[in-house]
Amino acid sequence: MFTGFPEETIRFFLDLRFHNSTTWYRENKERYLREVQAPFYELIGELVPLMQRIDPQMEIRPHKILSRIRRDTRFSRDKTPYRDHLWLWFKRAGEDRWQSLGYWFELGPQRVMWGMATWDENRPLMDRFRRELASDPARYGGIIHGCGLAQRRLVMDSDCFKRMEVPSGIPEDLHPWYRIRSLGIIQTQASFEETASRAVLGHVAADFEAMAPIYRMLRGMQDALEEERSAPPPPPKRQDEWE
């Protein structure tokens, strides 16, 4: 059962930041498994039933949800081998991470955050969302506003097109949503004090559930795009159809 992240979790991250080497990590791997991986896995296990209610196809295997402590430094100027923070990412099982839509939670010495997002830019999905929003702003605006994001201190922290023209029929409060380049909704009142106890689980779960209508709205659009891409091409016209 998840009872919070112990003080040793952050201490491990701080020590790793100071001793970021393969030798140090190997000597302290048991600390990592006990003080970092274990509480993250417990949090994932507690969230799984909720995530499956939100989307029955959601990935539920902890090792597929928790980020790796080892960094991929092949294409990075920063060659430090290990991360001093970790995150979990709930997305569809088997779906490529890039351009996926999912829920996340991140913890490190400097921040604790959670929310919902697209991983990197997903231009096809955002273009589809813009078309749908323009065609029925009342419907989709109702879904967005019905989640009560502001009351829960959840804010849109998205990368947006600054000069994109918005159709006249879309209310001004939905203009930022229309201009989204990559989606990000983040909890702005997360606190380290909460992470030390089970209280953070309740806060995260309530926020994830509150955002579910937006997730399902966008997930439906993503599914429609994938169906269109996988649909067989129409048969070629017969000669008499051209005449």
Distance, in Å, from the CA atom of 217 to the CA atom of 180, rounded to the nearest integer, reads: 15
Q: How many residues does the chain have?
A: 243
Q: Which candidate, 236, 224, 209, 215, places its Cα nearest to that of 91? A: 215
Give the chain's domains with CATH numbers. 7-69+80-229 (3.30.930)
pLDDT value at residue 230 = 84
Q: Which pTM does this prediction carry?
A: 0.92
Summarised one tens digit per residue, pLDDT across range 117-132 is: 999 889 999 999 999 9
What type of residue sits at position 119? W
Residue 140: exposure state from Cβ atoms within 10 A (0-12, 13-18, ≥19):
buried
pLDDT digits (tens, 9 = 90+) for 81-110: 999 999 999 999 999 988 899 999 999 999
- The bridge status of strand 101-107 relative to strand 112-118 is antiparallel
Enumerate residues 6+ apart whose C-beta is below 8 A from 26.
Answer: none
What DSSP element (H or E) covers 46?
helix 38-54
For residue 115, what is the enclosing H or E element? Answer: strand 112-118
pLDDT at 35 over 90: yes
Query: 11 vs 6, 101, 112, 146, CA distance in Å?
Result: 9, 32, 15, 40
Identify the H or E element spanning 202. Answer: helix 199-210
